[in-house]
Structure 1
Amino acid sequence: AIFNRDYPVLQGGILFLAVVFVIVNLIVDLSYAIINPRIRYS
């Protein structure tokens, strides 16, 4: 897609990776708070 200059496909792929990254970080943060109850969010 890069060599064919197919920018919408590239934008979609990068957006998908960004969304996956945010979701994984959120899951890790929430699971860490459940595993270790001493952690408190303010």
Structure 2
Amino acid sequence: MPGVGRLVLWSIYQRDYPLTQSTILFIAVMFMTINLAVDMLYGVLDPRIRYSA
């Protein structure tokens, strides 16, 4: 996502708090989604990893 960091900095400098909050929330959700996808792929790609419920 090119430009997201610049958008956060611009919104902080302009004191646009709703834009700052929504952009940081977007970054956090993307981070968690990517981490979940990687965790799920580890179980598929590496047979040594076993998940127990």
Taking structure 1 as the reference length, what is the TM-score of the superposition?
A: 0.88
Matched, 1:3 2:13: yes
Secondary structure at the aligned position of 2:37 is classed as helix
- The more displaced of 9-18 and 31-40 is 31-40
AA aligned to 1:38 is: R
Higher helix share: 2
Cα distance in 2 for residues equivalent to 1:4 and 1:38 = 50
The higher-RCO structure (CA 8 Å, 6+ apart) is 2
Unaligned runs of 5+ in 1: none
Cα distance in 2 for residues equivalent to 1:19 and 1:25 = 10
Taking structure 2 as the reference length, what is the TM-score of the superposition?
A: 0.72
Matched, 1:39 2:49: yes
